[in-house]
Amino acid sequence: MLAVAIVAPAAALAAPTARGQVAHAAKKHRTKKHKKKHHKATGSPSLTVLGFGMNHLYVANGTTVTNAADCSTMVQGNGYPSGPPQNIYVEAYLKATHIPASSPTQIGEDIPEDDDTVRLADANEPPLSPAVPFSHAFDTSTLGFGIPPGSQKNVFRGGLFSEDDADGPSASDFDGTYTYEVSVEVDGKTLDSTATVTISC
């Protein structure tokens, strides 16, 4: 009997099946997906009480105002009405970065001839004010009078007082020493800064 061997054509052996072609193509062009990394903005919290806005004059921490030009600017200002009636404004300014809005914040202040102010933490007087969230203690929407020079980025203000003066304020109305202390707790650490200025007009 004659044995017959059936040999498939070479082309048929070499050619992959249709399914194999699709799988091969898919594997060849498959790309690996990479997750995007989101980098969280980080930075060390900082807090500095810069100084005071004394009506129309900015007074930096550690300054003593005695000269006539500064005393005049304080009550008249450049471009502001100089006659009565006028309000007297005293505000504190601070620069703060990377402090969460909910951070517990306490304030101490010492203002001339004001028995109702909250005394400083290191004095033998009542402690700092009860803690409130940082966002409740200060305002950034609009800065008031006597703003610090330069960029106002990250600058906050805290109002000390304002009062009516039917006759218009005189520079001597501001005489005395002003101190403002801010204490903020961030991630278990306490940031504390104090500014003191003296007016002698």
Round to whole Å and give the CA distance between 134 and 191: 12
What residues contact 168, with CB distance under 8 A and at least 6 apart?
75, 82, 83, 84, 85, 86
Residue 161 resides in a domain: yes
Q: Are 55 and 169 in contact (CB under 8 A)?
A: yes
Give me 55's structure tokens.
Answer: 């009506």
What mean pLDDT comes out for the span 181-186? Answer: 94
How sure is the predictor about 42, in pLDDT bands with cuts at 50, 70 and 90? Answer: low
Q: How far is CA 48 from CA 61, 90, 125, 138, 160, in A?
A: 10, 18, 23, 13, 17
Residue 72 resides in a domain: yes
Assess whether pLDDT exceeds 50 at residue 124: no
3-state secondary structure of 137: helix
Residue 31 resides in a domain: no
Tokens 């193509």 appear where? 25
Phi first, then psi, for residue 130 (nearest 5°) are -55, 150
The torsion of the CA quartet 142, 147, 148, 151, rounded to 10 degrees, works out to 40
Range with the poorest average pLDDT among 54-63, 72-81, 128-137: 72-81
Q: What percent of the chain has pLDDT over 70?
A: 61
Q: How far is CA 113 from CA 21, 27, 125, 151, 175, in A?
A: 92, 83, 16, 33, 10
Most confident by average pLDDT, 12-26, 77-91, 149-163: 149-163
Assess whether pLDDT exceeds 80 at residue 152: yes
* Domain range for 103: 46-199
Give the pairing of strands 64-65 and 189-199: parallel
Q: What percent of the chain has pLDDT over 90?
A: 32
* Mean predicted lDDT score pLDDT of the chain: 74
- From the CB of residue 118, how many other CB atoms can be counted at a distance below 10 Å? 18
How sure is the predictor about 163, in pLDDT bands with cuts at 50, 70 and 90? Answer: low
Residue 108 resides in a domain: yes
Longest dimension (CA), the chain: 136
Number of domains observed in the structure of the chain: 1
Residue 22 resides in a domain: no
Residue 33 resides in a domain: no
